[in-house]
């Protein structure tokens, strides 16, 4: 079996070996692949593995030996799964590997928004504490999370973990989106519709998949319904947010701040309005990228490929 990884640089930048996958067939790994090179590189492959390199219907049609696609992520919108299904090609993803890492990053962002650790560190190193007349100073008053309300949009694995951490910080938790499965045991907790959640929450954290129905749902109208003291955090998909509307809301002081780990076009473009928005923290899609999470992702990918080779594919999305 010929296995081709089209874009392996982020999963294994050198610390997460492909050894276990290489035992399953003749493996070729490319750090990244331009769209025009996909067919050349994967034309003879039995199994193609991709993270963000798109496999469109037209591309799939030019891969005559292809039997299986393994997505090196949870989201699988980069593969035309319907076209693959018509060809009888199963597509598998990795539904769970980064729950704790992403939830941790949500709180790294929230703690920066509320405590401003980074800017105070810069101020101290710039000599402001040395020159201070008092034993302490602050550029902006830190905010205590206990007693505030966390609104979680998308209450799946990651959303539920974020809710648990929020509860541990003493926050009230609201949840919206998806099916209302069993409520968590901690209190206070309540379900809310989207608009009510945005209106009541001090912090809104997005954890829903991007679909045709919810693209840009965080729009000008929804943002204007938030409290002026509220924060928006997005570690899900950039396309969930109308970025121009968010930048405008920040400039108009309609919300207190935002933090995003994802944007609508990645890598980020220089004309993205969030780059010039005040009180907006941006990280480069790293919430998933702890070594622990990437190792779990590698292990699950090997399991997906091995299951396909055994005749019983798992985690099939089409």
Active site residue 36: no
Q: Which residue among the candidates 26, 125, 266, 269 is catalytic per the annotation?
A: 266
The dihedral of CA 93, 97, 100, 102: what is its sign? negative
Q: Which residue among the candidates 105, 237, 294, 296 is catalytic per the annotation?
A: 237
Nearest 10 degrees: Cα torsion 56, 5, 10, 266 = -10
Written as six digits, the tokens of 194 are 């989207």
Q: Cα separation of 197 and 246, whole Å? A: 17
Active site residue 199: no
Residues 6+ apart with CB under 8 A from 171: 145, 146, 147, 148, 149, 150, 203
Residues 6+ apart with CB under 8 A from 134: none
DSSP label at residue 285: S
Residue 315's region, left for phi above 0, alpha for psi from -120 to 50, else beta, is left
Active site residue 266: yes
Q: Cα separation of 290 and 61, whole Å? A: 35
Q: Which residue among the candidates 116, 161, 192, 285 is catalytic per the annotation?
A: 285
Beta strands 231-234; 2-5: pairing state: unpaired
Q: Cα separation of 10 and 29, whole Å? A: 12
43 φ/ψ angles, rounded to the nearest 5 degrees: -60, -30
| Catalytic sites, residue numbers | 237, 266, 285
């Amino acid at each position: 079996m010929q296995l081709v990884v089209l874009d392996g640089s982020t999963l294994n930048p050198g610390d997460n070996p492909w050894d276990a996958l290489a035992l399953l067939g003749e493996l070729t790994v490319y750090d990244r692949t331009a769209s025009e090179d996909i067919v050349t590189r994967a034309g003879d492959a039995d199994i193609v593995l991709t993270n963000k390199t798109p496999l469109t219907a037209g591309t799939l049609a030019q891969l005559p030996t292809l039997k299986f696609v393994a997505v090196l992520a949870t989201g699988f919108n980069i593969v035309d799964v319907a076209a693959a299904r018509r060809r009888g090609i199963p597509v598998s993803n990795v539904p769970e590997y980064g729950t704790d890492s992403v939830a941790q990053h949500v709180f790294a962002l929230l703690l920066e928004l509320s405590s401003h650790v980074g800017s105070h560190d810069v101020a101290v190193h710039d000599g402001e504490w040395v020159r201070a007349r008092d034993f302490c100073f602050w550029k902006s008053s830190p905010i205590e999370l206990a007693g505030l309300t966390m609104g979680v949009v998308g209450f799946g694995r990651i959303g539920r973990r974020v809710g648990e951490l929020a509860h541990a910080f003493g926050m009230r938790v609201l949840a919206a989106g998806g099916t209302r499965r069993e409520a968590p045991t901690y209190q206070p907790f309540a379900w809310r519709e989207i608009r009510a959640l945005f209106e009541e929450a001090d912090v809104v954290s997005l954890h829903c998949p991007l679909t045709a129905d919810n693209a840009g749902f965080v729009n000008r109208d929804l943002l204007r319904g938030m409290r002026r003291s509220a924060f928006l955090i997005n570690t899900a998909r950039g396309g969930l947010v109308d970025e121009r509307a968010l930048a405008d809301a920040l400039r108009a002081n309609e919300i207190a701040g935002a933090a995003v780990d994802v944007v609508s076009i990645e890598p980020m473009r220089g004309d993205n309005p969030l780059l010039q928005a005040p009180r907006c923290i941006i990280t480069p899609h790293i919430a998933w990228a702890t070594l622990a999470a990437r190792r779990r992702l590698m292990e699950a990918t090997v399991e997906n490929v091995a299951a396909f080779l055994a005749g019983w594919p798992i985690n099939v999305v089409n």
